[in-house]
Amino acid sequence: MRYKLGEKKGMRVAYGETLVKLGKELPNLVVLDADLSGSTKTAMFAKAFPDRFFNVGIAEQNMMGMAAGLAITGKIVFASSFAMFATGRAWEQIRNSIAYPNLNVKIVATHSGITVGEDGATHQMTEDIAIMRCIPNMRVISPTDYYETKSVIEWCAKNEGPVYVRMPRRDTETVFSSEEEAKFQFGKGRILEDGSDLTIVATGEMVPEAIKALELLKEDGIEAQLISMATIKPIDEDLIVNSTNDLIVSIEDHNIVGGLGSAIGEIIADHGLKKRLLRIGVRDVFGISGSATDLLRYYGLDGESIYRRILEEIKNK
């Protein structure tokens, strides 16, 4: 195992910290939020740079439009809310006002997936990857851990054009041990472990769970290759095409319709690869209330459940 799980740290905290750091470097960086700045951590930027922070109130559609306008005047714009409202409520504003004119707006959302927990289905966004990755010009990133988030946000600020970044609410185990080690390479998946029995492709907060599953598989003598896919669009096709394993398992805290698994399925179909794909994720249902830990188990997304599901798949082959 090349990487060891570390203590739990919030990706959204990394977002807030990095915004403050970038705010010092980049005088034309501005941040918008829609009454969730405490949760998204843009409040950290607001405190450091009150003149460049704009709380637009509970008005996500207008936030995306204003973000577009600010980008037209040459600003680097970060716009944040929960994944549900940022991408769901304001989808068409993102498409028409931001992505079509290819403007320099970074939509950075927190509270993705079912691990939002107790708030339940109305707040558990399990369709955001699907609805963002189908928009031309839009790039979609789901960082792996606290350290990689820092690098992702820095990349966003320093590269032109629209990006969507999704992060969970809960703190998750670090996968990398420093920012240098976590240095983000846009459009490249990362092989965290080699293995010749199957390939696991996980994204975002599912990477630590995938690592736990991989360790359990190892105890059974099953060697899995593990890829962390932080960039979901444009996805790293070569990694999938060049993988020599027949079984590919995708893992995401997102609907299996339209997300990471679907993106990998598209590569398999496009290249006519002879591979089996097991999509692990939310199986086209809505979320429910519960603690994040209980929900991961309920939806089969914790390391143990993933391990058992993969074993079953291998046995049934």
Partner 1 sequence: MSNISPIRNTDIEELERIAKRIRYNIVKMIGLAKSGHPGGSLSATDIIVALYYKIMNHDPKNPNKKDRDIFVLSKGHACPALYAVLAELGYFDKEELWRLRKVGALLQGHPSISIPGVEASTGSLGQGFSVAVGIALGCRLDKLNNWVYVLLGDGECQEGQVWEAAMAAYHYKLDNLIGFVDRNRLQIDGCTEDVMSLGDLKEKFRAFGWDVFEIDGHNFKEIIDTVNRAKSLKNGKPKMIIANTVKGKGVSFMEGNVGFHGKAPNEEQLERALKELS
Kindly list the residues in this chain that would bind partner 1 in the complex (CB under 8 A): 30, 51-52, 54, 56-57, 59, 61-62, 64-75, 92-93, 96-97, 100-101
Q: What angle do CA 123, 129, 133 make, to 5 degrees?
A: 145
Comparison of 23 and 303: residue with beta carbon closer to partner 1: 23
The Cα 216–Cα 222 span in angstroms is: 9
How far apart are CB 199 and partner 1 at their closest, in Å? 41
How far apart are CB 88 and partner 1 at their closest, in Å? 15
Alpha-carbon Rg for the chain in angstroms: 19
Active site residues: 60
Comparison of 86 and 301: residue with beta carbon closer to partner 1: 86
How far apart are CB 137 and partner 1 at their closest, in Å? 12
Measured in residues, the chain has a length of 317
How far apart are CB 105 and partner 1 at their closest, in Å? 10
Comparison of 73 and 242: residue with beta carbon closer to partner 1: 73
Comparison of 61 and 289: residue with beta carbon closer to partner 1: 61
**Alpha helices by DSSP H, the chain:** 11-25, 37-40, 42-48, 60-72, 83, 91-93, 128-133, 146-158, 206-219, 237-242, 260-270, 292-298, 303-315
The Cα 188–Cα 180 span in angstroms is: 16
- 149, 157 Cβ separation under 8 angstroms: no
- Element (H or E) spanning 192, and its range? strand 190-193
Comparison of 38 and 101: residue with beta carbon closer to partner 1: 101
The Cα 105–Cα 69 span in angstroms is: 10
The Cα 294–Cα 278 span in angstroms is: 23
The Cα 294–Cα 84 span in angstroms is: 21
How far apart are CB 54 and partner 1 at their closest, in Å? 7
